C-alpha cells in the first residue's frame, strides 16, 4: 500500500488507528479454548471482524508468534490472510543485521509474508537498512525514539547539538523518501514528538504507547500530524485486545477501538 492509498484510507475513515495483534496466550478469553480452531486464530478472526471499521492498520509483533514455534509462524500467516486488503499490514519485527542477512529479512517480510511494512533498527547503519529500502513499493519503519524508559539509556543521550535519536533520524531521513520511510516515535514522549514533527514535517510516525503504556492521545494528535497529510499511525495493542477477557471480548474491543477512532476523528476532520 503506497502513501496515497494509506492517506486515502485515513481520510475516508477519519481514523489513524493501528491495532496491534499481539496475542498473549495467558490473556486469551477462555471461551476460545473450547473450539476446533487454534485459540489465537479464533481470537484474531473475531477481533479483526469487530475492529476493522475503526482502524486503518494492523501491527503484528512477531515476538508473540515466534514464542509459539512453528505453529506461531503458521498463525502469523493465517492472521495476515484475515486482514482485509484495505488495511495496512505492519510486521513489528525490529530487525537489524549486516547487509546479506538483512536482505533475507527483507525478502521474508515483504515477499514471503507479504507485509506492507517492517520495523527495522537503524543502529547497524545504512548498509543494513538498504536491503529493506530496495523494496521501493514497501515501507521501512525505523526505530526513532522508542516508547520505553530505557530509550533514555542510549537514544536520548546528548549528541552534537541535539540527541542521539535526532541525529539518527536526521541522517536516516536522507536514505529514502518519506513515501517509503517512517519512524517509530513513542507516545510516552509527547514533547519530543512535537519537536520531531517540526524537524520531520513530511514523515509518517508510527506511534506506540497509547493505552497500557499511558501515552496521552490528545497530546499526540495535537502536535503529531504532518504538514502535508495525516502522517500518524497510532498503535494500540493491549488496551483494545484485552478490553474484556470474557465472552464479550470482541464487542468490548470494538467499543474501545471506536472510542479511540472518535477521538482521532475530532482532529482529522477538515484536514487536507
Is residue 19 within 8 Å of 235, Cβ to Cβ?
yes
Q: Which of residues 60-89 bind ligand LLZGTKA7 (CB under 6 A)?
A: 61
Should residue 192 be labelled a site residue for ligand LLZGTKA7 when binding is judged by CB under 6 A?
no
In which residue are the cell numbers 504507547 written? 209
Should residue 146 be labelled a site residue for ligand LLZGTKA7 when binding is judged by CB under 6 A?
yes
**Residue 34 vs 143, nearer CB to ligand LLZGTKA7:** 143
CA torsion sign, 113 to 69 to 41 to 23?
negative
Integer Cα distance of 261 and 120 in angstroms:
27
Secondary structure (3-state) at 158: strand
DSSP 33: G
**How many positions of this chain bind ligand LLZGTKA7 (CB under 6 A)?**
17
Should residue 101 be labelled a site residue for ligand LLZGTKA7 when binding is judged by CB under 6 A?
no
Span interacting with ligand LLZGTKA7, options 8-16, 123-131, 192-200, 211-219, rule CB under 6 A: 211-219
Residue 61 Cβ vs ligand LLZGTKA7, minimum distance, rounded to whole Å: 4
Go through the chain and tell me how many residues it has: 272
CB-based contacts of 102, cutoff 8 Å, min separation 6: 95, 96, 124, 128, 129, 130, 131, 132
* C-alpha cell, 234: 497510532
Residue 210 Cβ vs ligand LLZGTKA7, minimum distance, rounded to whole Å: 6
Please state the separation of Cα 198 from the chain's center in Å. 21
Residue 161, judged by CB atoms within 10 A of its CB (0-12, 13-18, 19+), counts as exposed
In order, the DSSP letters of 226-258 are -SSS--EEEEE-HHHHTS--STTHHHHHHHHHH
Does residue 256 have an active-site annotation?
Answer: no
Which residue is catalytic, options 94, 126, 138, 272?
A: 94
Should residue 237 be labelled a site residue for ligand LLZGTKA7 when binding is judged by CB under 6 A?
yes
Should residue 31 be labelled a site residue for ligand LLZGTKA7 when binding is judged by CB under 6 A?
no
Secondary structure (3-state) at 161: coil
Among 29, 122, 131, 186, binds ligand LLZGTKA7 (CB under 6 A): 186
**Site pattern 147..176 for ligand LLZGTKA7 (x: CB under 6 A):** x-----------------------------
Residue 183 Cβ vs ligand LLZGTKA7, minimum distance, rounded to whole Å: 10
How far, in Å, are 153, 154, 156, 251 from residue 149 at the CA level? 8, 11, 10, 33
Span interacting with ligand LLZGTKA7, options 70-78, 80-88, 231-239, 256-264, rule CB under 6 A: 231-239
Should residue 140 be labelled a site residue for ligand LLZGTKA7 when binding is judged by CB under 6 A?
no
Should residue 213 be labelled a site residue for ligand LLZGTKA7 when binding is judged by CB under 6 A?
yes
Residue 17 Cβ vs ligand LLZGTKA7, minimum distance, rounded to whole Å: 11
* Residues labelled as active-site residues: 94
Residues of this chain that interact with ligand LLZGTKA7 (CB under 6 A) are: 20, 22, 61, 92, 146-147, 184, 186, 208-209, 211-213, 235-238
Amino acid at each position: 500500500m503506497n502513501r496515497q492509498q494509506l492517506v486515502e484510507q485515513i481520510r475516508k475513515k477519519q481514523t489513524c488507528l493501528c491495532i496491534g495483534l499481539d496475542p498473549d496466550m495467558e490473556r486469551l478469553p477462555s471461551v476460545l479454548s473450547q473450539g476446533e480452531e487454534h485459540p489465537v486464530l479464533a481470537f484474531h478472526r473475531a477481533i479483526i471482524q469487530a475492529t476493522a471499521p475503526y482502524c486503518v492498520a494492523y501491527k503484528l509483533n512477531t515476538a508473540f508468534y515466534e514464542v509459539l514455534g512453528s505453529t506461531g509462524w503458521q498463525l502469523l500467516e493465517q492472521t495476515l490472510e484475515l486482514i482485509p486488503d484495505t488495511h495496512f499490514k505492519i510486521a513489528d519485527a525490529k530487525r537489524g543485521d549486516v547487509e546479506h542477512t538483512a536482505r533475507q529479512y527483507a525478502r521474508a517480510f515483504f515477499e514471503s509474508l507479504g507485509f506492507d511494512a517492517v520495523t527495522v533498527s537503524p543502529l547497524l547503519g545504512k548498509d543494513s537498512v538498504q536491503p529493506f529500502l530496495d523494496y521501493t513499493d514497501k515501507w521501512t519503519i525505523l526505530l526513532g525514539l522508542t516508547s520505553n524508559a530505557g530509550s533514555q539509556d542510549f537514544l536520548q543521550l546528548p549528541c552534537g547539538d541535539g540527541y542521539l535519536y535526532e541525529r539518527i533520524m536526521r541522517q536516516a531521513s536522507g536514505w529514502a523518501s518519506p513515501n517509503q520511510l517512517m519512524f517509530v516515535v513513542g507516545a510516552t514522549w509527547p514533547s519530543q514528538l512535537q519537536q520531531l514533527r517540526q524537524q520531520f514535517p513530511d514523515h509518517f510516525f508510527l506511534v506506540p504507547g497509547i493505552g497500557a503504556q499511558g501515552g496521552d492521545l490528545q497530546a499526540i494528535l495535537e502536535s503529531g500530524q504532518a504538514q502535508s497529510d495525516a502522517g500518524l499511525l497510532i498503535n494500540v495493542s493491549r488496551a483494545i485486545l484485552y478490553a474484556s477477557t470474557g465472552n464479550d471480548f470482541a464487542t468490548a474491543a470494538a467499543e474501545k477501538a471506536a472510542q479511540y477512532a472518535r477521538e482521532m476523528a475530532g482532529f482529522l476532520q477538515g484536514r487536507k
